[in-house]
Amino acid sequence: MNAKRPSLTLDVRGEMCPIPVLKTSKAIERVSVGDILEVLATDPASKPDLEAWSRMTGHKIMEFSTEGSSPTVYRFLIQRTK
Amino acid sequence: MQKNRLLIVASRGTADGLYPALILATTAVAQGKEAHIYFTFGGMKLLTKGLAETVSPSVDLGLSREDLEKLLAKGGMPKLVDMLKTAKQMGVKIHACSPTMNLFGLKQEDLVDVVDDVMGASSFLEMASDPQTLAIFI
């Protein structure tokens, strides 16, 4: 088993603040503790906002990458920690 | 020390006055905080049957209600009344202001069913005085 393979993908491309964070907080409950949630977003605030959410909740951003332009897609791999 | 409770006073009866209150409260719950909104004066429109759907943007926003709703829908943002329901479902506590109700002759049955309780200045100040609470006005 690849440790970084997501068990669920949340696609919030096109959705604005605060929807990506709200949906991420719901989606993380749908993966098991230790498993990975993949989040795809285009909101330019999604990186600082999900990082803040991660610090507040303790769920861990394992990987972050960007892809393309206009719009840039921000991809997060988040591990449920509790 | 982290403050783990957010208390927002929503006193403006405009879409651009109420969205930020709902956005911050729902995000606070997503971050694991407890969140409360105390609706007062104009903000009480959103809790009043028959008025909630009529809440419009302020003049200085420079958009009609229809245009704002279209723009928000593009970004996946629900209408105000639906955002209020979402907030309630997520566990945001909804408080109605009793002096405002007196002012406009509103009774409990005139309010939409998401309201947790009706309270006044003293209850609000007690909650706001807790060192664990971050209280902000919108």
Domain parsing of chain B, residue ranges: 5-137
Residue B23 contacts A, CB cutoff 8 Å: yes
- Find the mean pLDDT for residues A11-33: 95
- Find the mean pLDDT for residues B65-81: 92
- Find the mean pLDDT for residues B5-22: 97
Is A14's CB within 8 Å of B75's CB?
A: yes
Is A22's CB within 8 Å of B32's CB?
A: no
The CATH architecture assigned to B5-137 reads 3-Layer(aba) Sandwich (3.40)
Q: What pLDDT does A4 receive?
A: 78
Among A1-10, A17-26, B90-99, B124-133, name the one with the lowest average pLDDT: A1-10
Q: What pLDDT does B110 receive?
A: 96
For B24, name the nearest residue in chain A, comparing CA atoms only: A18
Residue B74 contacts A, CB cutoff 8 Å: yes
* pLDDT, tens digit, 9 for 90 and up, residues B92-136: 999 999 999 999 999 999 999 999 999 999 999 999 999 999 999
Q: What is the ipTM of this complex?
A: 0.82
How far is the first Cα of chain A from the last one, in angstroms, to the nearest whole number?
A: 20
Residue A60 falls in the annotated catalytic set: no
* pLDDT, tens digit, 9 for 90 and up, residues A37-53: 999 999 989 999 999 99
In chain A, what are the domains? 8-79 (3.30.110.40)
Total beta-carbon pairs less than 8 A apart between chain A and chain B: 40
Closest CA to B15 of B51, B47, B50, B56: B56
Percentage of the residues of chain B whose pLDDT score is greater than 90:
94
- Find the mean pLDDT for residues A2-28: 92
Neighbours of A64 (CB within 10 A): 15
